[in-house]
Structure 1
Amino acid sequence: MNEDEIEDQGSEHIDENDANLAMSSLALLALNEDNHKAIIDGNGIKSAVERIIQVAQHGYTPGLQIMSSIDLLVHLFAFGSNNTKQLIQNSLSPEILDQLKDNQYIGNEIQKLINAYSNSQAAKELIKIRRLNEMNK
């Protein structure tokens, strides 16, 4: 492996880490509906959906940190307006979710999004409980 290949691998790894950090940050911001317009306008939904579709099309690749992308969509769906919910549902079809729900790496997270699609109020309450537990640790 030459120096350029090592450098390229390093930048890809950093880019993936940066993308994951960005998605994690957006997921936290999405807990407040006041932030949703900025997230949507900044292509947050589009970026998260693209990462999920990448897994659906090419399979899960270790190192691809996709959980935060799913969390972002769950938070936007649970705390968002009807327009936000519709935008997410139009962007990520139930067929893709069904395809990924049995994935050994991300199936549980995908199931959270499926559950949010069917009952956003229950998803919202579960997120609040989880956040309280995290804050009390």
Structure 2
Amino acid sequence: MRKFINNLKKLFGKSPIEASPKATEPSMNDKMQTWSSPGKNDMEPILNENILKALMQQVEQTKEGIYTCEETFDLLDEYAELIDTDQDAAQLMPLVKAHLDMCPGCEKRFNILLNIISTSLDEA
């Protein structure tokens, strides 16, 4: 794994991994939110062992036929409405559920949308 990470860092022009123990393990969302940071002229990718482990976990969980982020986003409104009306959304839209389970970015957008739908229905 270390050789793989070092090769990826070389591809992205970064130095090899430096061991830096962390007091606590960051959550998957924390790991995924650090994919890039401002550079001199553009966004430069940040690669560290935690991000690459998170990426490898996502690759490992990927199955043939699973939706992309774009496809999932296109169906989020329908999925959120099913959840809000207490229907079994996971059974009706299993590929959306599978994607949300493995993608922190889409899950965050889904939770925001669900909160908006719930709030607007409560006010009506």
Structure having the higher strand fraction is 2
Q: Which has the higher contact order (CA 8 A, sep 6+)?
A: 1
The structure with the larger Rg is 2
Same fold (TM > 0.5): no
* TM, length-normalised to structure 2: 0.30
